[in-house]
Amino acid sequence: MAASLSTMALATAAKPPLLGPQILQIQSAHSTTLSLRSDQMFTAISIPSRRPSLPRVRSAGSPSHQEYETFPRSLKSRLAAGETLYGLFLLSASPTLAEIAGLAGYDYVVVDMEHGPGGISDALPCLRALAAAHTPAVLRLPEPSAVWAKKALDIGPQGIMFPMVDSPAAAAHAVSCCRFPPRGVRGSAHTVVRASAYGLDDGYLARCEEELLVMCQVESVDAVSEIEAIATVEGVDVIQMGPLDLSGSMGYLWDPGNKKVRQVLRELERRVLGLKKRQSEANAAAEGGSASLGGPYLGGFAMPHDPPEELKARGYHMVAGAVDVGLFRQAAAEDVRRFRRAEVEIGEEGHEDEKPRDESYWSEISDDGSYWSDSKPDRPIGRPVILQHRSVHSVAQRSTRPVALQHRLAVQPTCSLGNTDLLLN
């Protein structure tokens, strides 16, 4: 489009000004017509070419066939390529935090409807935010039921996680919930739901089951003895370890670091990874087979005693390293702790030789390093300036504090008083 406009502008630049209103029609290579009406000479303008918003359209077959591809590489294809994927659990059901997680670079985000407060209507804005950040979403269901699976799949996640899968029958039921009849029990409204681009994606039915990542959580004593049978159920792609519920099932509630719990988890890891290796070798030996294909993959949660890099080193294929609520809790508690510690340090040093100066909301630093008052910018008020925690409106004062403390509490030239991260770093 930009090239067409520029070419037209150059062609008309040498001509005399147009005497009256004129209509210019420009047709781009993509059959887009732009009409311009002007009383003056045309001048060169540029319209940048922007990548279309998701979902992206690709043609397949006849011109009337439209196939929507929301992500260039699916979670399944990346796992098959041998990648280790790093993810986040979203407990808050916050689209803003979902978007931040996607922009931060997580490979996937699990929108948690089992322990989070949100349901399907809360998960939908999170999926839209993640799609805008080009980040695949996995939905964890509250329970392994066909009703929840149907509603979750209709809003279009790349993966679905079933909690508390304790037997091969439960695993087979989970897979059945993700497939349309006659192979499963999933209800069909594919002509109008988000998963099929509201019916615009003609290829949805042909590929939806192949592209969906089905994850089954193993998190009970009953599941431990059945792990191979669960993992070999056709259609199960990922065995997700659940250390917290497993510790409770073993009688060590909220003690996943217990030696006995760790031993059971290591044994489960060994058995799943061994099964994966044997199936991959069998596929590689088959004619046209690939060693990278064949499940199941191993997924897990990082814990304080078991950080994500150690899970990766032990062979996990999907590692959830954090929870959004936990990240915010940790950052908030640390922020308050630093401020309270600074208050104590300030109070212990006294204020005998400090004289109040002009009140101002904040101060800016001059070229020579001194600070200037907003109310009287014609003279410096000394260096450095600190914030006084005893009043709502901070008073800029001369300080005799140690240099290290001065630097930590000095007002920054580009921040407001409300930004405690900058003030207290």
Residue 184 lies inside a defined structural domain of this protein: yes
Same domain, 267 and 170: yes
Residues 102/104/110/111 CA torsion (nearest 10 deg): -60
- Is there a contact between 180 and 205 (Cβ–Cβ < 8 Å)? yes
Residue 338 lies inside a defined structural domain of this protein: no
Lowest-pLDDT choice from 14-28, 106-120, 151-165, 393-407: 393-407
What does the pLDDT average to over 57-64?
43
Residue 61 lies inside a defined structural domain of this protein: no
Q: Which residue has the tokens 């409770």?
A: 248
Q: Kindly report the average pLDDT of the chain as a whole number.
A: 76
CA proximity to 139, closest of 163, 157, 116, 164? 157
Residue 9 pLDDT: 40
Percent of the chain with pLDDT over 70: 63
What does the pLDDT average to over 295-310?
95
- Is there a contact between 144 and 111 (Cβ–Cβ < 8 Å)? no
Digit-coded pLDDT (tens) for 242-270: 999 999 999 999 899 999 999 999 999 99
Same domain, 417 and 303: no
pLDDT exceeds cutoff 50 at 195? yes
Which phi and psi angles does 79 have, rounded to 5°?
-65, -40
Catalytic residue among 65, 115, 134, 407: 115
Lowest-pLDDT choice from 138-142, 209-213, 363-367, 415-419: 415-419
Same domain, 256 and 369: no
Residue 68 pLDDT: 56
Q: Which domain holds residue 398?
A: 350-424
CA proximity to 136, closest of 127, 144, 147, 125? 127
Same domain, 134 and 95: yes
Residue 30 pLDDT: 45
* Known catalytic membership, residue 115: yes
The total of structural domains in the chain comes to 3
Same domain, 208 and 276: yes
Same domain, 44 and 73: no
Residue 245 pLDDT: 96
Residue 39 pLDDT: 47
pLDDT exceeds cutoff 60 at 200? yes
